[in-house]
């Protein structure tokens, strides 16, 4: 029993509810939401060290023993993601102070933001399949409102697509839950895992596994990403950044959880299909990133490439591959928030997202330009920046099991990332300075600090990779040994 | 033309009392039998919506001076904080406690922390349901 596990979920929830009672007091809203995120982050740090010392932590809600009650399970993988979520949310929140606008602040922006974090943290920590569905709905509902916040015509159009896609995939999610419950008679993830291990993963269960793969692919943007470029380019910058950093990652987390803990018996079927999906995703994402001349489009297609790349590490199911995925997942959450915030700042300054109309920003905004440059190199995986280790390990993992095509496509996709990011950098920051100071549509006052903070975290992740290596190795080991998870929950 | 809703209003005045009573019954029944905070709250919300339908929004608002958005938040807070009670006493989050007490009038009564939790659920459900209906009706 470890009551700390529930805290990253209920602290933002309680604070969000308190904020609903005082919607007009903006100072209070800002201070309390920052406090909630920071407190959740610190508690998560504490849990992380407990896991390192004593193994996987569990909490049986209400004292009802698993598998009858709902379990909360903190293994290293999920806790690392919760911590990263808190870091990213903290920086995006500070960015939002200056950029979101007073009207949106009074329209319950902060409570909604906190509910989004509640849902994301809950999805990472829960050990029950139906509870996972509930937390998915919590953050989806918050994201429905956030994506249409402000109510522009384009926003409403894209949010309709987003809502319909997610309602359909949620319905499939429920079908999958129902199938699995009727086959195994349980919804506790650990219990599911042990029952399927006992009975064997026959054709029917593999089919259900593929249904879950479709559901989570829709959420993660793995091949089924048709909704993603539109929906991620319409909301205000701070919201777009948090979406790009967190929402697809929850889908990726769910894929990892399902296919390392439950459906890991038929890798020649399920994991090969995931591998093919990852390869196609990377190719299509790379084409999109290389082809568009629009800041937001380039960045969203980069989100898609990284989804494919992270999942490629799962396909290998080796320690190197999984470690690479975890490194890259953490790196990607931070760096995607970073480049989205910078992209949003560029659009704020110039009033357009068309790269052809932007030029020479670096003269007046050197800090912004160089931070973008470091971020771009980090995304490509230049050592010693944070993307490097993830890329090495994922490629090593795919080579170890002989999927050279997958690793090769991953490396090729990195070249396209390099091409697209440098294209963005050269067009936006180099060249003649078109805008004088008066012509700029907004100011970067107060916006540089959160971006710099994210960059520091990203650099620390790259340079201090040795320091977090113990945590990542532990996470990979726990993912590879489902028995650790099962023993921790069912005792 | 002014709509004639004398019958609707007269029936509502009686029906609302019955629905309120029934929802309290459903709510209190919940611990051991079918019922509880969710369904009790939903039927209460039904009664309030019926009031809105029969009389106009302004009139009801004058008489029920509650901000339903805040009611929802208070309900959730109540429920979550009851859950935190378990944490304070060193048990799991959401652990419930109950005991039997001698109360005047009621005699020996079972009191549970789940009742407070359920009150929170009921308030949250009332707030949400009424809020949804009001938002739709106010939309132009």
Average pLDDT for A108-122: 95
Question: Is it the case that residue B127 has pLDDT exceeding 90?
Answer: yes
The ipTM is 0.91
At which residue do the structure tokens 């799962």 appear?
Answer: A314
The mean pLDDT value for A3-30 works out to 93
Contact residues, chain A, for B95 at CB < 8 Å: 62-63
Indicate the pLDDT class of residue A213, thresholds 50, 70 and 90: very high
- Per DSSP, the three-state class of A468 is helix
Answer whether residue A276 shows pLDDT above 80: yes
Cα A81 to Cα A48, A282, A311: the distances in Å are: 11, 23, 15
CA distance A118 to A96: 18
| A296-310, A330-344, B126-140: least confident range | B126-140
Q: Do B70 and A20 touch (CB under 8 A)?
A: yes
Select the residue from B81, B92, B121 to test the A interface by mutation, using most A Cβ atoms within 10 A: B92
CB atoms within 10 A of CB A283: 16
Nearest to B80 among A3, A13, A20 (CB): A13
CA A52, A54, A55 angle in degrees (round to 5)?
70
Query: A118 CA to chain B: closest CA distance, Å?
Result: 13
The residues near B27 (Cβ < 8 Å, ≥ 6 apart) are: B35, B36, B37, B39, B40, B41, B118, B122
Q: What is the pLDDT of residues B19-42, one digit of tens each?
A: 999 999 999 888 788 888 899 999
Cα dihedral B25, B26, B29, B33, rounded to 10, equals: 150
- Interface contact flag, A3 B92, Cβ < 8 Å: yes
Residue A99 has pLDDT above 90, yes or no: no
Residue A399 has pLDDT above 80, yes or no: yes
**What CA–CA distance (Å, rounded) separates A62 from B93?**
6
- A147 Cα to chain B: minimum distance (Å): 19
pLDDT at A15 over 90: yes
Q: Is B18 on the interface with A (CB under 8 A)?
A: no
What is the pLDDT averaged over residues B108-136? 90
Would you tell me the crossing angle of helices A203-220 and A270-291 to the nearest 10 degrees?
20
Identify the pLDDT of residue A330. Answer: 95
Count the helices and strands in chain A (H runs, E runs): 21, 2
Q: Is the pLDDT of residue A209 over 60?
A: yes
Q: Are A17 and B76 an interchain contact pair (Cβ–Cβ within 8 Å)?
A: yes
Report the C-alpha gap between A285 and A315 in whole angstroms: 19
Kindly report the backbone phi and psi dihedral angles of residue B96, in degrees, each rounded to the nearest multiple of 5, phi listed first.
-105, 155
Q: What is the pTM of this model?
A: 0.94
Instruction: Please state which of the ranges A33-47, A131-145, A239-253, A353-367 shows the lowest mean pLDDT.
Output: A353-367
A10, A21, A62 ranked by CB distance to B73: nearest: A21
Instruction: Identify which of A259, A163, A181 has the alpha carbon closest to the alpha carbon of residue A217.
Output: A259
From residue A85, how far is each of A42, A254, A283, A311, B115 by CA, in Å? 12, 15, 28, 19, 35
Which single residue is written with the structure tokens 């529930």?
A6
Q: What is the per-residue DSSP string for A16-30?
A: HHHHHH-TT-HHHHH
What is the mean pLDDT of the segment spanning A90-100?
92
Which residues, in sequence order, are CB contacts of A325 under 8 Å at separation 6+? A256, A310, A311, A312, A313, A314, A390, A393, A394, A397
Contacts of residue B87 in chain A, CB cutoff 8 Å? 3, 6
Q: Using DSSP, state whether A332 is helix, strand or coil.
A: helix
Residues of A in contact with B92 (CB under 8 A): 1, 3, 59-63
pLDDT in tens, B45-66: 999 999 988 888 888 888 888 8
The answer on pLDDT for B140 being more than 60 is no
Q: What percent of chain A has pLDDT over 90?
A: 76
Contact by Cβ (8 Å): A359, A433: yes
Query: CA–CA separation, A458 vs A450, rounded Å?
Result: 12
Domain spans, chain A:
3-490
- Examine the pLDDT at A96 and tell me if it is beyond 90: yes
Looking at residue A465, what is its pLDDT? 86
pLDDT averaged over every residue in chain B: 88
Q: Are A6 and B93 in contact (CB < 8 Å)?
A: yes
pLDDT of residue A302: 94
pLDDT band at B1 (very low <50, low <70, confident <90, very high): low
Count of other CB atoms within 10 angstroms of residue A317: 18
Choose among A14, A18, A61: nearest Cβ to B94. Answer: A61
For A258, which DSSP code?
A: I
**DSSP one-letter code for A355:** G
Q: How far is A64 from chain B (nearest CA, A)?
A: 8
Determine the Cα–Cα distance for residues A192 and A186; give it in Å rounded to an integer.
Answer: 6
Interface of B with A in 93-122 (CB under 8 A): 93-96
Q: Is the dihedral of CA A459, A321, A58, A53 positive or negative?
A: negative
Residue B32: predicted pLDDT: 81
Contact A481, A55 (CB under 8 A): no
B72/A contact by beta carbon, under 8 A: yes
Could you say which residues from 73 to 92 on chain B have a Cβ atom under 8 Å away from some Cβ of chain A?
Answer: 73-74, 76-77, 80-81, 83-84, 86-87, 91-92
Distance in angstroms (rounded) separating the CA atoms of residues A46 and A21: 31
What gap in Å lies between CA A118 and CA A130, rounded to an integer?
16
| pLDDT above 80 for A382 | yes
Rounded to an integer, the average pLDDT of B107-124 is 88
Q: Tell me the chain A residues in contact with residue B139 when contact means C-beta distances shorter than 8 Å.
A: none
């Amino acid at each position: 029993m470890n009551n700390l596990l529930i805290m990253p979920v209920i602290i933002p929830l309680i604070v969000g509810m308190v904020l609903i009672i005082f919607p007009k007091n903006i100072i209070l809203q800002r201070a309390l939401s920052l406090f909630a995120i920071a407190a959740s982050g610190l508690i998560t740090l504490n849990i992380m060290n407990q896991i390192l010392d004593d193994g996987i932590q569990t909490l049986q809600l209400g004292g009802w023993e698993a598998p009858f009650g709902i379990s909360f399970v903190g293994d290293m993988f999920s806790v690392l993601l919760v911590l990263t979520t808190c870091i990213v949310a903290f920086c995006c929140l500070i960015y939002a102070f200056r950029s979101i606008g007073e009207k949106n602040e009074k329209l319950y922006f902060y409570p909604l933001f906190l509910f989004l974090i509640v849902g994301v943290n809950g999805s990472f920590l829960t050990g029950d399949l139906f509870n996972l569905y509930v937390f998915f709905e919590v953050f989806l509902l918050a994201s429905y409102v956030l994506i249409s916040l402000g109510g522009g015509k384009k926003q409403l159009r894209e949010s309709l697509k987003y809502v319909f896609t997610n309602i359909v995939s949620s319905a499939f999610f429920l079908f999958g839950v129902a199938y699995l419950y009727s086959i195994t008679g349980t919804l506790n993830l650990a219990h599911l895992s042990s029952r399927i291990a006992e009975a064997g993963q026959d054709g029917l269960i593999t089919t259900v596994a593929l249904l879950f793969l479709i559901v989570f692919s829709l959420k993660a943007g793995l091949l089924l990403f048709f909704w993603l470029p539109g929906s991620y380019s319409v909301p205000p910058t701070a919201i777009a950044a948090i979406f790009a950093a967190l929402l697809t990652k929850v889908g990726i987390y769910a894929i990892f959880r399902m296919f390392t803990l439950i459906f890991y018996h038929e890798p020649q079927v399920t994991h090969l299909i995931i591998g093919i999906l990852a390869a196609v995703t990377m190719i299509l994402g790379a084409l999109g990133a290389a082809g568009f001349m629009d800041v937001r489009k380039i960045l969203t297609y980069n989100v898609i490439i990284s989804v494919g790349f992270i999942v490629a590490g799962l396909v290998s199911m080796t320690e190197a591959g999984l470690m690479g995925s975890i490194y890259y997942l953490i790196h990607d959450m931070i760096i995607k928030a970073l480049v989205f915030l910078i992209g949003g700042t560029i659009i704020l300054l110039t009033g357009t997202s068309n790269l052809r109309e932007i030029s020479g920003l670096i003269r007046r905004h050197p800090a912004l330009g160089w931070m973008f440059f470091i971020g771009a190199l980090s995304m490509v995986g230049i050592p010693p920046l944070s993307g490097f280790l993830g890329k090495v390990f994922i490629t090593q993992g795919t080579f170890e099991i002989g999927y050279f095509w997958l690793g090769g496509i991953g490396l090729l996709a990195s070249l396209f990332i390099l091409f697209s990011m440098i294209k963005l950098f050269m067009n936006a920051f180099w060249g003649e300075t078109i805008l004088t100071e008066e012509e700029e549509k907004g100011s970067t006052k107060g916006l540089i600090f959160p971006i710099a903070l994210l960059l520091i975290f990203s650099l620390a992740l790259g340079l201090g990779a040795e320091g977090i290596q113990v945590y990542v190795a532990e996470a990979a080991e726990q993912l590879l040994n489902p028995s650790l998870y099962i023993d921790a929950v069912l005792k | 033309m002014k709509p004639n809703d004398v019958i609707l209003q007269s029936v509502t005045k009686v029906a609302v009392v019955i629905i309120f009573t029934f929802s309290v019954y459903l709510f209190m029944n919940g611990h051991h039998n079918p019922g509880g905070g969710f369904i009790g709250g939903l039927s209460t919300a039904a009664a309030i919506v019926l009031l809105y339908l029969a009389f106009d929004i302004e009139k009801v608002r004058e008489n029920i001076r509650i901000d339903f958005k805040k009611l929802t938040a208070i309900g959730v807070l109540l429920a979550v904080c009851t859950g935190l009670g378990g944490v304070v006493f060193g048990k799991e989050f959401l652990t419930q406690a109950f005991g039997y007490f001698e109360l005047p009038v009621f005699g020996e009564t079972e009191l549970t922390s789940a009742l407070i939790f359920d009150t929170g659920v009921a308030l949250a459900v009332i707030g949400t349901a009424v809020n949804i209906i009001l938002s739709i009706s106010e939309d132009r």
